[in-house]
Amino acid sequence: EWSIGDGRAAVPGTGIIAGGPMRAVFETLGINDIVAKSQGTANPYNMVRATFDALKRVDSPRSVASRRGLKVSELQARRGEPGVRKP
């Protein structure tokens, strides 16, 4: 079994904080700011598979806002993204 135990977007400028094969996947996809940790296997093949499986499950901001009954701008303000005023 393989999994990425923890993977989350990071503040702009953080860079890629992830181990070996995961870092290569994120760099190849152009993901610049992410923090990820793998749990379980250290097999590079399985780590790449787990990374892609985790990325398939990522929800869009629009989907999350809809599920929470918010506007996307309200969701971004709660997260503290630059250029967005808090309500």
Where do the domains of the chain lie, and which CATH numbers do they carry? 2-56 (3.30.230.10), 59-87 (no CATH)
The CA distance from 82 to 36, in Å, is 22
The two three-digit tokens of residue 65, written as one number: 């806002």
In sequence order, the 6+-apart residues with CB closer than 8 A to the CB of 30 are: none
Query: Would you write out the chain's pLDDT as a tens digit for each of its 87 residues?
Result: 445 555 677 788 889 998 889 999 999 999 888 888 888 878 999 999 989 988 888 888 899 889 999 898 888 787 665 555 555
pLDDT at position 1 is 45
- How confident is the model at residue 7, as a pLDDT? 66
